Chain A
Amino acid sequence: MGNTMAVADMEAVVFPRVEEDVLLKAEGLNLDVSIGGKTCRVLRDISFTLPRGKTLGLVGESGAGKSMLGRIISRQIPAGFSVSSGSLMFDGEDLLQASARQHRDWLGKRIAFIPQEPMTALNPVLTIGQQFTEHMLRFGVPAAECEARIIQALEEVLLPEPAALLSKYAFQLSGGMCQRVMIAMAFASEPDLVISDEATTALDVSTQAQVVRLLRDLQARKGTSVIFVTHDMGLATHACDEVTVLYAGEMMETAPARNIFQHASHPYTRALRDATPRLKGSVIPLKTLEGQMPGVESFADIPGCRFASRCDYAAASCNAGVPERVSVSHGHSVRCARYAELETLTAEQHSSSGTHQPGHAFSARSVLQASGISKVYPAANRRQKDKLALAAMDFTIAPGEFIGIVGESGSGKSTLGRMLMGLEDLTSGSIDINGKTLGNDEASWQRRISLVQMIFQDARSALNPRRKVGQLLTQVMDSRPHQRLERNMRMKELARDVGLAEQSVQRYPAQLSGGQRQRVNIGRSLCDLPQILIADEIVSGLDVSVQAQIMNLLLELRREHKVALVLISHDLSVVRYLCSRVLVMKNGEVIESGETEKVLSDPQHPYTRQLIAAVPPTDPDAVWPGASFTDKEAGVL
């Protein structure tokens, strides 16, 4: 494995057959931006080849620059950015040199994009038919044939009743349906290249699996090349032929997709892998990556490897200069100065991994007991029916117990969380805390909020941007102005508890990173030492490495403060890592519940099995997505 090849040979190695028809070829692409007089290299030396009919995955955390390539191709790089050198050959012509007219002509015809947010990517005041027709007319379909061709395209993406869809607006469809419309539109012109930027991130897991399957089917049939941008390494393993891992604008590792997980060679790729919770196999503690990715403005000050500051194996040589890309094996290259020594170094580290326990109850006695709670939203007018959000159910939680509630959007999982917190009225049933039933009076509310607290999903919008971190952490003490000294002490304790530096209490949320903001968000709910935390999707929007930090923090808080957690999540791997018990919900009903390991290893309900099957496995040999789905299944979405 130690034999290193010269970089010049690299391109030939990545996709082995030289005679293969190359569609897109980037060579030494550099993207610069000028910040405060300094030139910062946002993307450094991006080189790859993408053959026809293949998929290149771009994997990385937010800020890695993985969306920038798509923006270079679409010429939508932000103001101030410019490609300073390199070439980007698209089917023999330089995309960077083409005239604006020529370039615009390619967009939509030969190069198509699938957006991240399908619901907002469709114009809300135009029907699907109007937008699709406009697109068809642009690439030269005669007006008379448009309708038939559109219906055919919509059939290809397995949308039920495509003819009826034409007169619908985006808001009448689900996210999965909108994304399938976008895919149908992207492939309608039989483009050479499709760029999918996080196209499945906003979708439910089972919808994600179907969308990936569609994408691969269409690609195979039409011989399209795809650039697949994602933050999910497991997904990239199955959706791509080749994967490139980006960190701070640099290609750290490029490998055949099936190798990226099991034969990760770069320390960063390994860190990503070790921070990803798994759905199968033994649960081991996730290793967290300390610190955060350097920002664009500091790139100019890093002479060497951009990952060095967070790398466990960094040595002085790492900062001496930008490391060369070296070949690991056929089609697998890595940019690491210490790659040759890495094998021996990691062997020492690996022996230290211990065992992991999710949040089990400390005692059998329950803290909170809900019996027969249900929620019905009354109809807005007489023509509509009442909407059942949650069918009558019982729920108990014990001290220190971590319970996961999983299900897709609209399953009622968030409603349950909000009812437990008291943000929604109960249609029926009652909730007891420590044996006393909660009423609707002010005293009950005070008792409730002293024992139950909610962690909101989006830390950015949940924290008032005009208040300092210290005040935010101790927000519940606003009503006790006489306790100023206590408050000042408490904010420092809380900052320490959630792993923030003490000085950070003087900062504003905007000055923190996403992970730090989520820590403040969690710390705030801990101020009055509640017994139960209700967390709605608090780790789903975070990068893998930050997600691991937050999950370990939650387990630590459990050990220290005996706090229990109701975790609402769509991510089964996260639930497996944190929760000892799980509730699977669908259409407002709990369809399966029990010990997490048991439910996941031996699911009883077909829906649970479907949920588990929809998660891209980390094993590259597993077949994912599964067998092609039926029209009936498609109709459910």
Chain B
Amino acid sequence: MSAVYPPAPASTGAVPRLMQQVWLLARQVLWRLPMLVMVSLIVFIILRAIPVDPVTMLLPPGASQDDIDALTAQLGLDRNLAVQFLIWLKDAFTLDFGTSIQNGSAVSAMVADALPMTIQLLVCGFIGGIALGLALGLLTFRYRGTRLEKILLASNGVMIAIPDYLWAIILIVIFGVTLQWLPFLGPVGANISIEHITGFLMLDSLLTANWEGFASAFSHLVLPSLTLSLVVATPIARMAYSSLSEVYREDYIHAAQLRGLSHNRILLHHALRNASLPTVSLVGVQASVIIGGTLLIESIFGLPGIGNLMIKAMRSFDMQVIQALALTYAVTVQLVNMATDFALYKLNPRLRIQS
């Protein structure tokens, strides 16, 4: 509706400005790399500190000492711990995470197979959760002073106390078992086959014009995504509501009211953007908890994502897989944090412009 003026460029000219943006992005990535290495190192040390010997797990019970020594040497476990880590790190940079001790296949291939499922779940869960949370927060605030506000606040209080796995069970019981509206086990129906192109079931079914497959993949994703959405939405709704209440005490809202702007205009155009700043920060802070939550959700709904892979790997102490997945989770958390940082940078001009 209103004309949009681009923010003042920090430096003049299009090329230096582009360079500046590229540098900003590069800096974002670069300073996160050492953090990822640290996370890998910690996981590496912990895995070695656990008194389980992968060699004896791999070999049959009656294996000779020679066999043990040979396998130990083959796995590189006889070398110095620091050297072992450096070798792992060097390989990791080429996306080589070794082979699984469960079935001998390449770890990177296993992770790549499972990752699309989890990404689908995360993207749907985050988008749904943020939308739901904002909508609930706005609704609660819009009806402040009425009974609806009290009801919404009270139910938010209850919802915040419900953990993700309990949501999963509640949703399964209501929509899966009682109403039988939605499936709740596996990624697609039993007699559906979807050609493997990208690994993203919904995308692949669309690409091959497999409408039946798309409907099945979609309906199977609804309940797990909704579970994740609810976990994401509840704190966002509360934060959005309280931030809005705070923003409405600010002078600029008062000034906007004195200019005769409509309630909705003030709420959506003037207040929401300011109130969204702490809300977006909250998403960034909660990212690790939410992403960790996919582990349980995947295993409850039987989705073959990296969460399920992780649980299997932990059962058989598959060090290489655990190590690779820990790094994958860390990267995902960093990506979400980068996204929230970027959103904050776009939303808050103070971060962009030095006064």
For A130, the chain B residues whose CB sits under 8 A away are 2-5
> Quick one: which of B260, B265, B353 has the most chain A CB within 10 A?
B260
A133 at interface, CB cutoff 8 A: yes
| Chain B hits for A113, CB < 8 A | 255, 258-259
Beyond A74-B258, A115-B254, A135-B259, is A172–B4 a contact (Cβ under 8 Å)?
no
By beta carbon, the residue of chain A nearest B263 is A104
State in angstroms the CA–CA spacing of A129 and B2 once bound together: 9
Query: For window 155-213 of chain A, which residues contact chain B by CB distance below 8 Å?
Result: 164, 166-169, 171-172, 182, 185
Cβ B355 vs Cβ A171 within 8 A = yes
Partner of A171, one of B8, B258, B259, B350: B350
How near does chain A come to B24, taking the closest CB pair, in angstroms? 13
Q: Is A82 an interface residue (CB 8 A)?
A: no
Q: In the bound complex, do residue A108 and residue B261 qualify as a contact, i.e. CB atoms below 8 Å apart? A: yes
The reply to whether B7 and A138 form a contact with Cβ atoms under 8 Å apart is: no
67-118 of chain A: CB within 8 A of chain B: 74, 76, 104-109, 112-113, 115-117
Q: Which of B126-134, B149-157, B269-277, B313-321 contacts A (4 or more CB under 8 A)?
A: B269-277
B3-22 contacts to A, CB under 8 A, are: 3-8
A513, CB-defined interface residue at 8 Å: no
Within 8 A of A (CB), among B307-355: 347-350, 353-355
* A125-B269 contact in complex given A105-B260, A107-B259, A109-B260, C-beta closer than 8 Å: no
Chain A residues with CB under 8 Å of B6's CB are 167
Bound: A121/B250 CA distance, A? 8
Instruction: Give bound CA distance, A182 to B256, whole Å.
Output: 11
Q: Which residues of A contact B8 (CB under 8 A)?
A: 164, 167-168, 172
Tally A-B pairs: CB < 8 A. 99
Contacts of B208 in A (CB 8 A): none
Size class of the contact patch on chain B: 20 to 34
Of all chain A residues, which has the CB nearest B252?
A: A123
Q: In the assembled complex, which residues on chain B have CB atoms less than 8 Å from the CB atom of A115?
A: 251, 254-255, 258
**Interface presence of B257 (CB below 8 A):** yes
Say yes or no: A123 contacts B274, CB within 8 Å: yes
Whether A125 lies near B274 (C-beta < 8 A) is yes
CB under 8 Å from chain A, chain B span 244-293: 250-252, 254-262, 265, 269-270, 273-274
* B4, closest chain A residue (CB): A130
In the complex, chain B residues whose CB is within 8 Å of the CB of A300: none
Check A125–B2 contact: CB distance below 8 A.
no
B250 cross-chain contacts in A, Cβ below 8 A:
120
Q: Is B209 an interface residue (CB 8 A)?
A: no
Q: Besides the contacts A125-B274, A127-B349, A171-B349, what 6 more A-B pairs have beta carbons closer than 8 Å? A: A105-B260, A107-B259, A123-B274, A135-B259, A137-B2, A384-B354
Q: Which 7 A-B pairs have the closest CB atoms?
A: A107-B260, A108-B260, A108-B259, A120-B251, A121-B255, A113-B258, A129-B5
Residues from chain B with Cβ under 8 Å of A74 in the complex: 257-258
A182 — which chain B residues lie within 8 A by C-beta?
255
Q: Measuring CB to CB, which residues of chain A are less than 8 angstroms from any residue of chain B? A: 74, 76, 104-109, 112-113, 115-117, 120-127, 129-130, 133-135, 137-138, 143, 146-147, 164, 166-169, 171-172, 182, 185, 384
**Alpha-carbon gap, A390 to B327, bound state (A):** 51
Is the beta-carbon distance between A167 and B5 smaller than 8 angstroms?
yes
Inter-chain contacts of A112 with B (CB < 8 A): 258-259
Q: Which residue of A lies closest to B269 (CB)?
A: A134
Q: Which of B257, B260, B350, B354 contacts A138 (CB 8 A)?
A: B260
Selected from A104, A124, A146, the residue in CB contact (under 8 A) with B252 is A124
Contact A124 B260 (CB under 8 A): no
Q: Roughly how many angstroms separate A129 CA and B261 CA in the complex, as a whole number?
A: 16
Contacts of A169 in B (CB 8 A): 7, 349-350, 353
20 contacts between A and B (CB under 8 A): A74-B258, A104-B260, A109-B260, A112-B259, A115-B251, A115-B254, A115-B255, A120-B251, A121-B252, A125-B348, A143-B3, A164-B8, A167-B8, A168-B8, A169-B7, A169-B353, A172-B353, A182-B255, A185-B259, A384-B354
In angstroms, Cα B1 to Cα A108, docked, is 18
Whether A147 lies near B3 (C-beta < 8 A) is yes
Nearest CB of B to A168, in Å: 6
Q: How far is the CA of A127 from the CA of B352 in the complex (A)?
A: 13
* Structural contact, B3 and A122, CB atoms closer than 8 A: no
A170 → chain B, closest Cβ, in Å? 8
Kindly state the separation between the CA atoms of A384 and B10 in the bound complex, as whole angstroms. Answer: 12
Query: Please, which residues of chain A bring their CB within 8 A of the CB of B270?
Result: 123, 126
Which chain A residues border B260 with CB–CB below 8 Å?
A: 104-109, 138
Q: Is the CB of A121 within 8 A of B1?
A: no
**B197 → A minimal CB distance (Å):** 42
Chain B residues contacting A129 (CB-CB under 8 Å) are 3, 5
- Whole-angstrom distance between the Cβ of B342 and the nearest chain A Cβ: 16
A528 to chain B, nearest CB (A): 40
Residues in A with CB closer than 8 Å to B252 are 120-124
Residues of B contacting A104 in the complex (Cβ-Cβ under 8 angstroms): 260, 262
Bound together, the chains give a CA A117 to CA B259 distance in angstroms of: 16
Question: In the bound complex, what is the Cα–Cα distance between A182 and B252 (angstroms)?
Answer: 11
Chain B neighbourhood of A108, CB < 8 A: 258-261
Give a binary string over B92-129; 1 marks a CB under 8 Å from any A CB, 0 the rest: 00000000000000000000000000000000000000
* Nearest CB on A from B186, distance (A): 45
Residues in chain A near residue B4, CB distance under 8 A? 130
Complex alpha-carbon distance, A182 and B3, angstroms:
19
Cross-chain contact of A121 among B5, B251, B273, B348 (Cβ < 8 A):
B251
Nearest-CB residue, chain A, relative to B6? A167
For A164, the chain B residues whose CB sits under 8 A away are: 8
Chain B nearest CB from A466 CB (Å) reads: 23
A134-B2, A168-B8 in contact; A125/B273 too (CB < 8 A)?
A: yes
Chain B nearest CB from A201 CB (Å) reads 13
Closest to B271 in A: A123
Pairwise interchain contact B2-A138, C-beta atoms closer than 8 A = no
How many whole Å from A69's CB to the nearest CB in chain B?
14
Give the interface centre of B251, B254, B269, B274 by most chain A CB atoms within 10 Å: B251
Least CB distance, B27 to chain A, in whole angstroms: 13
Q: Which residue of A lies closest to B270 (CB)?
A: A123
Of A166, A172, A182, most B-chain CB atoms within 10 Å: A172
Contact partners of B265 in chain A: CB under 8 A: 134
Cβ 8 A contact of A127, one of B7, B254, B256, B348: B7
Taken together as a complex, chains A and B put the C-alpha atoms of A138 and B266 apart, in Å, by: 13
CB distance from A146 to the nearest CB of B (A): 6
Query: Smallest CB–CB gap between A143 and chain B, Å?
Result: 7
B354's nearest neighbour on chain A, judged by CB, is A384
In the complex, which of the residues A122, A137, A167, A168 contacts B255, with contact meaning CB atoms closer than 8 Å?
Answer: A122
Separation in Å of the B125 CB from the closest CB of chain A? Answer: 28
Nearest-CB distance from A129 to chain B (Å)?
4
Docked complex Cα distance between A127 and B349 (Å): 9
- Alpha-carbon distance A76/B251, docked complex (angstroms): 13
